[in-house]
Amino acid sequence: MAELKNIAVRTKKTMIGFRGLLESRLASMAPLLTLLVLIILFSITSQKFLTPDNLFNITGQIAILAMVASGMTLVVLLGEIDLSVANIATMTGIIIAMLYTSKSGVFSGHALPSILAGILAATFIGLVAGLCVSKLGIPSFAVTLATMQISRGITMTVTEGEPIYTIPQSLKWLGTFRIGPVPGIALIAVGVVLIFYLVLKFTHFGRYIYAVGGNRTAAKTVGIRNGLIITLVMSIAGMMAGIGGMFT
């Protein structure tokens, strides 16, 4: 009887462990399952959804999000958040267009200096946010809420609420060129995602990000400069938002 009771207890523990594992797996797979359900639903309701033209069009549309999300991934791995990436992206696009269409100066009619200036401005906002989080100890939620409003204010001030239609031809080409049927911007996004994956997987910097996000006390104990990692990651997130804004 005692042996049967022990077997029953072990079986019950096994079932509980299996149930917990299944629940955790389902929770982690919830986004993928949701995506599959949406694909099935749209395929049933529209005959054109699964056509190659539509799929490549969707791929091109999500490419910018993928690039911005690459920078956001690092922020999330640190246990922080950045609310400002959308407004920083908008600000970057506006700065590039305004500098390119200016009537005098080194930026007038020159795409490369205008692009670099716009991305530098986005990176600087990320740098300021990172310094506020790492040096002043302000929560990233509050800091990036402020930088979100700052970047939006810069956009509205520069444009005076008016749309800008003139953008460099090189940017138009980057956003529209194709290699066969595949949008070129999608290939750029794949390259960006791959670079971030390799950085996280095979570099010291990537391991430091995981360490700081997992346990900052332990990371500091082993000699990792938490403040530097946070500042760099927030700066990279701002830069990636700027690069995304360059294509919008």
* pLDDT at residue 99, rounded to an integer: 85
Rounded-to-integer distance, Cα 13 and Cα 1, Å: 18
Provide the residue-wise pLDDT of the chain in tens; the chain has 248 residues: 555 455 544 555 555 555 655 566 666 777 788 888 888 898 888 888 888 888 888 888 889 999 999 999 999 999 999 999 999 999 998 888 888 887 767 777 777 888 899 999 999 999 999 999 999 999 999 999 999 999 999 988 888 777 776 676 767 777 778 888 888 888 999 999 999 999 999 999 999 999 999 999 999 999 999 999 999 999 999 999 999 988 87
Tell me the β-bridge partners of 179: 182
- Name the 3-class secondary structure at 35: helix
Rounded-to-integer distance, Cα 54 and Cα 38, Å: 15
Q: What is the pLDDT of residues 163-221, one digit of tens each?
A: 776 676 767 777 778 888 888 888 999 999 999 999 999 999 999 999 999 999 999 99
* pLDDT at residue 113, rounded to an integer: 86
Rounded-to-integer distance, Cα 37 and Cα 31, Å: 10
Q: Which residues contact 222 (CB under 8 A, 6 or more apart)?
A: 211
Task: Count Cα atoms within 13 angstroms, Cβ side, for 47.
Answer: 0
Rounded-to-integer distance, Cα 156 and Cα 161, Å: 5
* pLDDT at residue 184, rounded to an integer: 85
* pLDDT at residue 2, rounded to an integer: 52
Query: Tokens in use for 7?
Result: 């077997």
Query: Tokens in use for 222?
Result: 């082993």
* pLDDT at residue 24, rounded to an integer: 63
* pLDDT at residue 133, rounded to an integer: 94
* pLDDT at residue 169, rounded to an integer: 73
Rounded-to-integer distance, Cα 39 and Cα 46, Å: 10
Rounded-to-integer distance, Cα 70 and Cα 192, Å: 8
